[in-house]
A = this chain, B = another copy of it.
Amino acid sequence: MVSKMGVLKFLSRNMTSFVAQASRDNAILTLARHQSVLSSKLVYSEYGDPPKVVRQEKEELRKPAEHEVMIRMLASPVNPADINTIQGVYAVKPKLPSIPGNEGVGEILDVGNGVTDLKVGDRVVPKLNAWGTWRTHAVCNADELMKISDKIGIVEAATLTVNPCTAYRMLKDFVPLSEGDSVIQNGANSAAGQNVIQLCKAWGIKSVNIVRNRSDIDELKKFLTELGATYVLTEEELRTTDLFKKGVLVRPKLALNCVGGKNALEVMRHLESGGVMVTYGGMSREPVTVPTSALIFKDITVRGYWMTRWSNENANSPERSRMFEELTNLIIERKLNPPKHTLIGFERYKEALSNAMSTKGFVGMKYIFDFQI
């Protein structure tokens, strides 16, 4: 016999929505009979080790006021930035006490009389950073949320706003790329890196993907190649490659860096004159080193990208809607797949927080709170 949880898990992975729709409709009807809802939320009042400082609290939510909505969360991932924020080592330091969680998908349960652009049953994601997605229900202003398609699964929806958007913007906003151009990236097995590979494949851009050597390197190369990578090279292979010298590939105009240090320097060396390196992470904990000659004579530009800033600056921009539409379509066409993940019940949050930072397997394992379990 298949349990309800099992069905929901299956559905979330398979992006089919008809059964889930029926299940949601029931929940909405049930709720509509009540005047208030008891929300369960995670909270922390001091920075520190996440499983220690984060606690669970209950809160009775009132009905939404005129321009407010009530939502129930469906799923929300535990991202590295969430952990770093709780640790107090991230660039964003929310006012404490704070509800953690930056990414996630919810469903509108109730709307105030003045709300016109959202209706009961709509799938939504928060527009702003640090909105606090780790709670079962919330009442907030309608303009804090953005409607997204319900044609994609909840895992895809819950992990849409960080990594796919990061990859999308880095490929769109720094260098004009056309079909046949190439892009080089390190940390290609990162969550954003996997999205870069898939978007490049979808857009006809060749991707050169650099990963660290490891015991299961062949398996990793196979995985990334199947995802759409044009080439996958270890750092050592990159040092001696003649891919560019032999003219097999045009030199990349864009390099994406989430490692830093020597690795970033090696990647930079292969850029075309006038090329741009965009840094969005620093896994090696070493800075980016740029030879003076690369700046002056090769006209290399070194920049950074932070999804949080873009999102906050583009909360209501048409470009944001365009991006979500394009990403959603790619997900529906199965050209963009969700990360490897483990769905976990909200009550088991300590387990999720403890394990989120440990690397499991060559592409990591994302813990996603499934509020329906």
Chain A residues engaging chain B, CB cutoff 8 angstroms:
91, 260, 279-282, 287-306, 309
Q: Pick the contact of A304: B279, B289, B300, B309 (CB < 8 A).
A: B300
* Residues of chain B within 8 A of A279, CB atoms compared: 290, 292, 295-296
* Residues of chain B within 8 A of A290, CB atoms compared: 279, 287-290, 302
Determine if B299 and A295 form an interchain contact, defined as CB atoms under 8 angstroms apart.
Answer: no
How distant is the Cα of A289 from the Cα of B282 in the complex, in angstroms? 13
> For the complex formed by this chain, how many copies does it contain in all?
2
Determine if A91 and B292 form an interchain contact, defined as CB atoms under 8 angstroms apart.
Answer: no
> Residue on B with the closest CB to A306?
B296
> Residue on B with the closest CB to A279?
B295
How distant is the Cα of A305 from the Cα of B280 in the complex, in angstroms? 24
Determine if B295 and A302 form an interchain contact, defined as CB atoms under 8 angstroms apart.
Answer: yes
How distant is the Cα of A288 from the Cα of B306 in the complex, in angstroms? 21
* Residues of chain B within 8 A of A260, CB atoms compared: 292
* Residues of chain B within 8 A of A297, CB atoms compared: 91, 304, 306
* Residues of chain B within 8 A of A309, CB atoms compared: 299
Q: Pick the contact of A301: B281, B287, B289, B302 (CB < 8 A).
A: B302
Determine if A295 and B303 form an interchain contact, defined as CB atoms under 8 angstroms apart.
Answer: yes
- Closest approach, in angstroms, between the C-beta of A252 and any C-beta of chain B? 18
Determine if A301 and B301 form an interchain contact, defined as CB atoms under 8 angstroms apart.
Answer: yes
17 further A-B contacts with Cβ under 8 Å, apart from A282-B296, A297-B304, A299-B304, are: A91-B297, A279-B292, A281-B296, A287-B289, A288-B291, A288-B292, A288-B295, A290-B290, A295-B303, A296-B304, A296-B306, A299-B303, A299-B306, A301-B301, A301-B302, A301-B303, A302-B302
How distant is the Cα of A280 from the Cα of B302 in the complex, in angstroms? 15
- Closest approach, in angstroms, between the C-beta of A264 and any C-beta of chain B? 9
- Closest approach, in angstroms, between the C-beta of A69 and any C-beta of chain B? 31
Determine if B292 and A289 form an interchain contact, defined as CB atoms under 8 angstroms apart.
Answer: no
> Residue on B with the closest CB to A299?
B304
* Residues of chain B within 8 A of A299, CB atoms compared: 303-304, 306, 309
How distant is the Cα of A280 from the Cα of B297 in the complex, in angstroms? 9
> Residue on B with the closest CB to A292?
B282
How distant is the Cα of A306 from the Cα of B300 in the complex, in angstroms? 11
How distant is the Cα of A302 from the Cα of B299 in the complex, in angstroms? 10
* Residues of chain B within 8 A of A91, CB atoms compared: 293, 296-297
> Residue on B with the closest CB to A284?
B292
29 A/B residue pairs, CB under 8 Å, sorted by A: A91-B296, A260-B292, A279-B296, A280-B296, A281-B296, A282-B292, A282-B293, A282-B296, A287-B291, A288-B289, A288-B290, A288-B292, A288-B295, A289-B289, A289-B290, A290-B290, A292-B304, A294-B304, A295-B302, A296-B304, A296-B305, A297-B304, A297-B306, A299-B303, A299-B304, A299-B306, A300-B304, A301-B301, A301-B303
> Residue on B with the closest CB to A307?
B296
> Residue on B with the closest CB to A305?
B296
> Residue on B with the closest CB to A295?
B304
How distant is the Cα of A190 from the Cα of B293 in the complex, in angstroms? 19
How distant is the Cα of A91 from the Cα of B260 in the complex, in angstroms? 26
* Residues of chain B within 8 A of A288, CB atoms compared: 289-292, 295
How distant is the Cα of A309 from the Cα of B293 in the complex, in angstroms? 13
Q: Pick the contact of A281: B292, B298, B304 (CB < 8 A).
A: B292
